[in-house]
Structure 1
Amino acid sequence: MGVRQTTILVILSFVAGLVVASFAGFREFIPGLLEGAWVTVRITVQGCLLAVVMAVIAGIAKMYGPWPLRWLAVCYIEVFRGTSALVQLFWLFFVLPHFGVFLEPMTVAVVGLGLNVGAYGAEVVRGAIQAVPRGQWEASTALNLTRMQALRRIILPQALVAMIPPWGNLFIELLKSTAIVSLITIGDLAFRAQQMNQTTLKTVQIFSIVLVMYLAISMVITLLMRLLERRAAAGLSRGRVS
């Protein structure tokens, strides 16, 4: 799906939201759900930033770090990939206080989801780096670059293009995973919807709006990743030409 098609889908998502919101039976729920959607967006953006940082660090450490860092990276990846995101949130929120560590619910949500997605992203980073042709490493050796200099200047810029599509999928998965943060007392979009549904019993109206909101946010993520992919590919092409 190209940028043009994605842009059209984003516009259609927002139009659908406006159409749904215009119905008389739906209007009363919009303000509360928008507040919940803003919380969901904040968690998603901050969690994505943390996930990218952790993925790059863990992926590179697993491949090229000294054995203590490599061991830590492997433990982090396997633990967070091999256990439930919900259990991880509960552990951070309910178990850490027994050890004297108290975190705000919002912090727990960002850290928990960011670390969870970052563990999957570390394998994306590793796979993208390994996909770079071997000749690029040989060229960096001929230029007398250290391993880290070669990674930063030659390998990672090329691997970035291959990373972007799977990262788009991971970001959308993180967005959908934010629905579980309501279980640690955060008033996100899913929490507001469930709360309204329990008090009004207007299930069709409420969850129709929520469905469109999640779709609109996910389509915005998809569009941004498509634009980033196009820009990265163009920059890589210019670098090769020069």
Structure 2
Amino acid sequence: MSENSEAPFRPMAVLLEPRPRPIGLPDVGLPKLTMTHCYWLAVAALLVAGVAHAQAPAAPAQEALSAAPATPLSVIIKWLPFLLKGFVFNIVISLMAMALGTVSGVLLGLGQISQNALIRRTSWFVTQFFRNSPWLVLLFFAMFMIPFEFHVFGLRIPLPDWFKAIIGFALPVMANVAELLRGAIRSLPSGQWEAAESLAFSRTKTIWGIILPQCVKRMLPPWMNLYSLITMATVLASIVGVGEMLTLTAQVHAAEGGRPELFAPLYGFAMVCFFLYCYPISKLTQRLERRFNVKT
């Protein structure tokens, strides 16, 4: 081989100085930590810390601060039986007030067509007085003018607030039913009275056997409208402390901390309940008006 020929390349071993080893940490052959290992170690540390924090007893104040506020829907679902119980009480008050007012209103309406001048004028005055008085004023009148209890033959008879509220709502019902009955009787043809008189019917038999049955068709649609109005007006009982739906709604709002964002959903739920109850009555009233379509 000539001198000018190139010698083959031979790699030369390079001796590197060993890195200084920390004192007190001998090399035991542990695997090297990568970024993936560091990530999973951090996640495990966070999980362990979270479990430990959840199991540790928290102070009441800290627990209240850490708990997220309930949504309006969850609050309504939570208090749904409580609120519906108040709504049922509204319905009971309206039904009893309507029953009491209808019976007394029929008697008052018949008094307006009485042949006795004193009874007729007194019935007219009572009808006009309660018919043209604000319902809230009549409710306050019943709540504060009627005593809380009666004593009959040594027996104590208490009158709870809800019963006095029924009387307060029955007063305008009585006046309006009396006016409805008077108008229905006046709308009947005079031939009905003349035919009954020709058959020798007494006035009492004529009224109860001939006149009143014909008045039912004329009175039923406006009577049902009046019931819807009374049902919606029962929320006024909350002003005098009766535990109906609006009163319970205010209690729920206070129990949830008086949060402003709960005001509209809670009272909106009460509005929806009354709408779902009164709207079918309104539609039934319209159907009866078309069916009975009495021509005078």
Match of 1:80 in 2: 130
Instruction: Find the partner of 2:241 among 171, 178, 185.
Output: 185
Instruction: Find the partner of 2:252 among 189, 193, 196.
Output: 196
Match of 1:107 in 2: 163
Match of 1:49 in 2: 99
Gapped regions of structure 1 (runs ≥ 5): 1-22, 237-242
Specify whether residues 88 and 103 from structure 1 end up closer, same or farther in structure 2 by C-alpha distance, changes over 3 A only: farther
Give per-residue Cα distances to partners, 1:221-242, cap 9 Å, x unaligned: 44665787799x5xx9xxxxxx
Bigger helix share: 1
Give per-residue Cα distances to partners, 1:43-65, cap 9 Å, x unaligned: 01101101211211111101125
Matched, 1:140 2:196: yes
Matched, 1:217 2:267: no
User: Aligned letter for 2:269?
Assistant: I
Instruction: Tell me if structure 2 keeps the 8 A contact 1:140–1:150.
Output: yes
Specify whether residues 196 and 41 from structure 1 end up closer, same or farther in structure 2 by C-alpha distance, changes over 3 A only: same
Query: What's the CA shift for 1:35?
Result: 0.8
Match of 2:114 in 1: 64
Match of 2:29 in 1: none
Identity of aligned residues (%): 28
Tell me, in whole angstroms, the C-alpha distance in 2 between the residues paired with 1:96 and 1:34: 29
Gapped regions of structure 2 (runs ≥ 5): 1-72, 152-157
Give per-residue Cα distances to partners, 1:201-226, cap 9 Å, x unaligned: 31232122211110122135446657
Specify whether residues 25 and 104 from structure 1 end up closer, same or farther in structure 2 by C-alpha distance, changes over 3 A only: closer
Matched, 1:123 2:179: yes
Match of 2:20 in 1: none
Matched, 1:206 2:266: yes
Ranked by relative contact order (alpha carbons within 8 Å, sequence separation 6 or more), the top structure is: 1
Tell me, in whole angstroms, the C-alpha distance in 1 between the residues paired with 2:115 and 2:161: 33
SS of structure 2 residue aligned to 1:97: coil
Moved more, 25-34 or 158-167: 25-34
SS of structure 1 residue aligned to 2:206: helix
User: If the length of structure 1 is used for normalisation, what is the TM-score?
Assistant: 0.78
Instruction: Tell me if structure 1 keeps the 8 A contact 2:184–2:219.
Output: yes
Tell me, in whole angstroms, the C-alpha distance in 2 between the residues paired with 1:30 and 1:223: 27
What value does the CA root-mean-square deviation take over the aligned residues?
A: 2.7
Specify whether residues 98 and 210 from structure 1 end up closer, same or farther in structure 2 by C-alpha distance, changes over 3 A only: closer
SS of structure 1 residue aligned to 2:201: coil
Tell me, in whole angstroms, the C-alpha distance in 1 between the residues paired with 2:167 and 2:146: 13
Tell me, in whole angstroms, the C-alpha distance in 1 between the residues paired with 2:179 and 2:286: 21
Tell me, in whole angstroms, the C-alpha distance in 2 between the residues paired with 1:65 and 1:156: 17
Match of 1:97 in 2: 147
SS of structure 1 residue aligned to 2:113: helix
Tell me, in whole angstroms, the C-alpha distance in 2 between the residues paired with 1:118 and 1:186: 22
SS of structure 1 residue aligned to 2:146: helix
Work out which of the two has the higher radius of gyration on C-alpha atoms and give 1 or 2.
2
User: Aligned letter for 2:233?
Assistant: S
Moved more, 152-161 or 78-87: 78-87
SS of structure 1 residue aligned to 2:266: helix
Tell me, in whole angstroms, the C-alpha distance in 1 between the residues paired with 2:133 and 2:148: 21
